[in-house]
Amino acid sequence: MKLLVTGAQGMLGRAVVECATRLGHDVRAATRAELDVTDAEATRQALLAGRPRAVINCAAYTDVDGAESDRQGAERVNAGGAGHVAAAAAEVAARIVHVSTDYVFDGSKREPWLESDPVAPLGVYGETKLAGEQAVAEANPAHAIARTAWLFGDGGKNFVDTMLGLGAGSDEVSVVTDQVGSPTWTGHLAGALVELAERPSETGIHHIAGAGACSWNELALGVFERAGIDCRVLPATSEQFPRPAARPAYSVLGSERRDPLVLPRWQDGVARYLATRVAV
C-alpha cells in the first residue's frame, strides 16, 4: 500500500515509518521540513503529487507545558494542521489515521476511559488535540482517530530516558504517585497504527495504549528494575512539582470496541525499548 507518514522525524513517526517499511508498504516519510502541515495548500499539493492510499498523521505539537503560553502555535499544528492533512487526504480518496491523546479527558474517573466517554481537557495541549480530532472527523469520513498515552521510544524526549539519566547519576529520585496512565512504547503503537491504515472499515475513535496501568512513580520503579539501576524512587505529589499545565490524575485508556487493537503490557514495552537501547 502507498502510505504517507507525516511528522516522520518525530519519536512516533520514526517508529511508524520503520514498521510500515518492514511490512512491505510503499512509504513516503515526510518530515516537518519537507511537509509543513500548517500550510494548507502545500499539504494539498503534496498529497495530490503523491496520491497515497492512506496517511498516518504523526505531526503534532507535543510540548504540554509550552502550549500553555503558545496556544496559537499548538492550534496551528494540532488543530489546523490535522484538518489540512485530513482534507487533503479526502481529496485524493485516501484514508487518514490521526494520532490523539489521553489528555482530552479530565482524569476524574477511576476506571479506564472509553471512546464514548465525555471529553473535558484540562489544558491547551488537550484542547488543541481535541480540536484536531474534530477537524479530522469533519474533513474526511474515512478516518480513524487513535488516542494513545504516555509515549516513549527512540528519537524523542520521553520519561523513560529521563529516568535512566537521573538514575545513573543519583541515589534517589522523587516521582509523583498521583498521576496514573498507560505507558506506551512507540514500537508497539506503530504496528497498530499501520494495521488501522490497512483496515478501511475501522473508522471513528480508537483507544490504543500499553496494556495495564501505573503511576509515573511505578513506571520509574519498573524502568530501574529492568535496567538494573540501583536508585531509590521516593513518592511525591503533583503539588510538589508544579507545572504550567495541569495533568489528568487518571487517564488510563480502555476500549468498548467489539474487536479493539490491544497492545502488549506496558512492562513489555519498557523491556523491548531498553533492549533496543542496549543493542544500539
**Residue pLDDT, tens place only, 195-249:** 999 999 999 999 999 999 999 999 999 999 999 999 999 999 999 999 999 999 9
Alpha-carbon distance values, 250 to 180, 213, 217, 254 (Å):
5, 9, 14, 12
Q: What is the reported pLDDT for 280? A: 43
Nearest to 280 by CA among 111, 163, 154, 160: 154
Q: What is the reported pLDDT for 64? A: 97
Give me the phi and psi of 266, to 5 degrees please: -60, -30
Q: Say how far apart CA 184 and CA 208 lie, in whole Å.
A: 9
Q: What is the reported pLDDT for 278? A: 62
Q: Say how far apart CA 210 and CA 102 lie, in whole Å.
A: 12
Which pTM does this prediction carry? Answer: 0.96
Q: Say how far apart CA 6 and CA 263 lie, in whole Å.
A: 22
AA letter at 127: E
SS3 195: helix
Q: Which of 61, 125, 250, 273 is catalytic?
A: 125
- Residue 111 corresponds to which cell in the numbers above? 476506571
Residue pair 73/102 in contact (Cβ under 8 Å)? The answer is no
Where does residue 258 rank: exposed (0-12), middle (13-18), buried (19+ CB within 10 A)?
Answer: exposed
Q: Say how far apart CA 23 and CA 12 lie, in whole Å.
A: 17
Please say if 250 is a catalytic residue.
Answer: no
AA letter at 244: P
Q: In sequence order, what are the beta bridge partners of 24?
A: none
Q: In sequence order, what are the beta bridge partners of 172?
A: 232
How many other β-carbons are positioned within 10 Å of the β-carbon of residue 218? 17
DSSP 203-222: -EEEE---BS-EEHHHHHHH
Element (H, E) at 30: strand 26-30
Nearest to 208 by CA among 121, 138, 274, 115: 115
Q: In sequence order, what are the beta bridge partners of 96?
A: 55, 143
CATH homologous superfamily of 2-159+183-211+252-264 equals NAD(P)-binding Rossmann-like Domain (3.40.50.720)
| Regions in the chain scoring below 70 on pLDDT | 278-280
